Amino acid sequence: MDLSRYSNRELLELYLAHLLARNRSPRTVKTFRSLLARFLEFVGERRISEVTTWDVDAFLAKLRASGYEERSIYTAAVAVKRFMEYLGLRENLRGFELPKRPSELPRYLTPEEVQAMIDAAGNLRDKLVVSLLYCTGMRVSELVGIRVSDVDLEEGSIRVRGKGGRERVVFFDSRTRQLLAEYLPTVKGCEYLFPARGGEGHMHYVTVERIIRKLARAAGLKKRVTPHVLRHSFATISLARGMDVREIQELLGHASLRSTQIYTHVVKQRLLSDYRRVWG
């Protein structure tokens, strides 16, 4: 690619188009757009081809000084590194090392807390949203992309499209089956299980996030609850109840077992907490 033909902003748009073409999640594209736009603002009038490891380090240091959290700084480093590599500027980053990724154990809800959220929902759709996220462990982007034809009520399964367009099958419990049986007639004729208002396309993932926040407040939960917390809850409780970690990896759609193994630490922490509660 002849970088001199494009402005820095145009190169950013080309990279974002590349991410979209590779079926990266809307959340990832939005996050990378924001962080990389800030990076280009930091670079100023210089060409991106002139950027070096020192510039990237200085940018990350500025984010840290501005109050960015460790996780956000790590994400920014990944975004800049991948952007530069896409442009063929790997040599510019010689000696660059990603910041240490913060080791934060996933937050999760108890079955009772999830039930409280479902009970707090005032309509069938919102009850189903919570129940599906919890009992399948699917990502919010996968949830909104479910088509009615993907649901097999008899088998108790749903075909979902994960990261990179990879398809897998997830399963749902009897409670969710009952909710689906009641809900499906309300979207008859729609392509998506959760259609957007007006019927064109599917519901936006931000709408799902708002639903989850609202129901957590209505249920009186003090924790910060997101769709991903329900995904964590599925994995943590599945492991605690005896499911094999490789089975959970398959259901979550993790490419690497390392991503799934963090839940073994969560279960161990929970076991220790329960032990101390009983034995002091």
pLDDT digits (tens, 9 = 90+) for 12-48: 999 999 998 887 878 889 999 999 999 999 999 999 9
Can you read off the two tokens belonging to residue 237?
């409780």
Q: Which of 163, 177, 213, 214 is catalytic?
A: 163
Can you read off the two tokens belonging to residue 134?
């919890």
CA distances from 110 to 23, 49, 92, 128, 244 (A): 33, 50, 48, 18, 20
Q: Which of 139, 183, 202, 205 is catalytic?
A: 139
* Predicted local confidence at residue 172, as pLDDT: 94
* Predicted local confidence at residue 253, as pLDDT: 84
d(CA 207, CA 225): 14
Q: Which of 38, 127, 231, 232 is catalytic?
A: 231
197: annotated active-site residue = no
Can you read off the two tokens belonging to residue 194?
């959760």
0.75 surpassed by pTM: no
| Closest alpha carbon to 262 in 241, 230, 239, 278 | 239
18: annotated active-site residue = no
Q: Which of 108, 134, 205, 263 is catalytic?
A: 263
108: annotated active-site residue = no
* Predicted local confidence at residue 8, as pLDDT: 94
CA distances from 252 to 26, 103, 149, 161 (A): 19, 20, 21, 11
Which ranges constitute the DSSP H helices of 69-147? 70-86, 111-120, 124-136, 140-144
Tens-digit pLDDT profile for residues 82-112: 999 999 999 999 999 998 876 666 688 999 9
* 237 touches 252 (CB < 8 A): no
Q: Which of 27, 125, 228, 270 is catalytic?
A: 228
139: annotated active-site residue = yes
The pLDDT tens digits along the chain (280 residues) read: 788 889 999 999 999 999 988 878 788 899 999 999 999 999 999 999 999 999 999 999 999 999 998 889 999 999 999 999 999 999 999 999 998 876 666 688 999 999 999 999 999 999 999 999 999 999 999 999 999 999 999 999 999 988 777 889 999 999 999 999 999 999 999 999 999 987 789 999 899 999 999 999 999 998 889 999 999 999 888 888 888 888 888 888 887 777 677 777 766 776 677 667 766 5
Q: What is the CA radius of gyration of the chain?
A: 22
163: annotated active-site residue = yes
d(CA 98, CA 110): 35
Half-sphere exposure of 240 (CA within 13 A, CB side): 20
